[in-house]
């Protein structure tokens, strides 16, 4: 009973602070329905979002698996943002948990483990794409999806930008040409994916890239500016000396790096190799030269080169 009285008192304090009546809220509680699982997770809306563009049954698998991946990307961004905000969480009643001052290395590790788990799920489940669709159906329904491509995944680009310094996302052949300091706008224009979606000789952008930039270019540039001094690598730099040599933390960063930049891209590449090698010269729906663009051994992209030995760097993506 004491507990009950305490709760009523707390409610009264809460509503009094905003000049509202506890009694009215209690009446609302009395009249409201119980929460159903279906309402809580918005099941009907969720299940209404898979709308294939053709009648080939396997397109349902393709569209649903992309959506599942985007939901995992959302979870990844949630963790990346928690690290970037030092774990500051402003709860509904305005209470600030954590501190803007410094990042707790243990908090950092737990969030990195979550990021690794999400990418493990994506890597392990990619066989849904590789083995889970009829090749003959895929080659047909993909033609109805032109010029859309996973290349245009806004969240995937945000994950990369929030994970490291922007310069690490510049194609490695271009990176060497960079001056010690160049404005963020110019680095942004040299990102590996922008290069990969341009004609090598003429420099003309694919229509897929043009459309993506039109939709998300400004937002991505703004986000990359926000992340200049506030990405995972920069957060690691803010830790004390002891944490920076903590082997577990360094190993977690490397594992995350390998999942995002090697293991996931390899699974993804397998699906392209399976479905796009049927017809000589077949391009992705986004129009890149995918055989050159997708393999990690050509991209040589990684978030945290300073954590690797010279030998590891040389063999990266092999």
Footprint on this chain of ligand HEM (rule: CB under 6 A): 65-66, 69, 129, 149-151, 153, 156, 193, 268, 271-272, 275-276, 283-288, 290, 293-294
Cβ proximity to ligand HEM: between 243 and 271 the closer is: 271
Tokens of 274: 């399976």
Q: Give CA separation, 35 vs 38, 39, 47, in Å.
A: 9, 7, 19
Cβ proximity to ligand HEM: between 87 and 286 the closer is: 286
What number of residues does the chain have?
A: 318
The dihedral through the CA atoms of 151, 155, 156, 160 has a sign that is positive
Cβ proximity to ligand HEM: between 236 and 262 the closer is: 262
User: Smallest gap, in angstroms, from Cβ of residue 155 to ligand HEM?
Assistant: 8
User: Smallest gap, in angstroms, from Cβ of residue 311 to ligand HEM?
Assistant: 25
> For the CA atoms of the chain, what is the radius of gyration?
24
Cβ proximity to ligand HEM: between 94 and 318 the closer is: 318
Cβ proximity to ligand HEM: between 144 and 245 the closer is: 144
Nearest in space to 264 (alpha carbons), one of 160, 181, 187, 175: 160
CB atoms within 10 A of CB 31: 7
User: Smallest gap, in angstroms, from Cβ of residue 211 to ligand HEM?
Assistant: 12
Cβ proximity to ligand HEM: between 109 and 205 the closer is: 205
User: Smallest gap, in angstroms, from Cβ of residue 81 to ligand HEM?
Assistant: 19
User: Smallest gap, in angstroms, from Cβ of residue 79 to ligand HEM?
Assistant: 18
CB-neighbour burial class of residue 303 (10 A; exposed 0-12, middle 13-18, buried 19+): buried
User: Smallest gap, in angstroms, from Cβ of residue 226 to ligand HEM?
Assistant: 21
């Amino acid at each position: 009973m004491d507990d009950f009285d305490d709760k009523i008192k707390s409610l009264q304090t809460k509503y009094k602070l905003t000049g509202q009546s506890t009694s009215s809220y209690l009446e609302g509680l009395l009249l409201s329905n119980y929460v159903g699982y279906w309402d809580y997770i918005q099941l009907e809306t969720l299940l209404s979002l898979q709308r294939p563009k053709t009648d080939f049954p396997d397109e349902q698998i393709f569209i649903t698996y992309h959506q599942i991946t985007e939901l995992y990307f959302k979870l990844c961004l949630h963790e990346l943002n928690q690290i970037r905000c030092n774990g500051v969480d402003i709860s509904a009643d305005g209470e600030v948990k954590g501190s803007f001052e410094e990042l707790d290395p243990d908090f950092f590790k737990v969030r990195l483990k979550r990021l690794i788990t999400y990418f493990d799920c994506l890597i392990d489940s990619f066989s849904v794409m590789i083995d889970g669709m009829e090749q003959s159906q895929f080659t047909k329904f993909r033609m109805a999806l032109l010029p859309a491509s996973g290349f245009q995944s806004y969240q995937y680009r945000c994950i990369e930008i929030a994970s490291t310094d922007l310069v690490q996302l510049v194609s490695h052949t271009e990176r060497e040409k960079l001056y010690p300091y160049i404005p963020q706008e110019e680095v942004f224009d040299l990102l590996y994916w922008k290069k990969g979606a341009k004609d090598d000789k003429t420099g003309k952008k694919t229509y897929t890239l043009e459309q993506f930039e039109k939709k998300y270019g400004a937002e991505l540039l703004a986000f990359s500016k926000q992340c200049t001094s506030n990405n995972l690598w920069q957060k690691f730099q803010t830790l004390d000396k002891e944490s920076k040599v903590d082997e577990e933390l360094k190993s977690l960063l490397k594992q995350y790096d390998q999942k995002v930049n090697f293991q996931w891209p390899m699974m993804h590449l397998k699906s392209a190799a399976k479905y796009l090698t049927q017809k000589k010269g077949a391009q992705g729906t986004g129009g890149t030269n995918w055989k050159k663009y997708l393999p990690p051994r050509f991209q040589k992209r990684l978030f945290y080169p300073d954590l690797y030995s010279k030998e590891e760097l040389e063999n990266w993506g092999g």
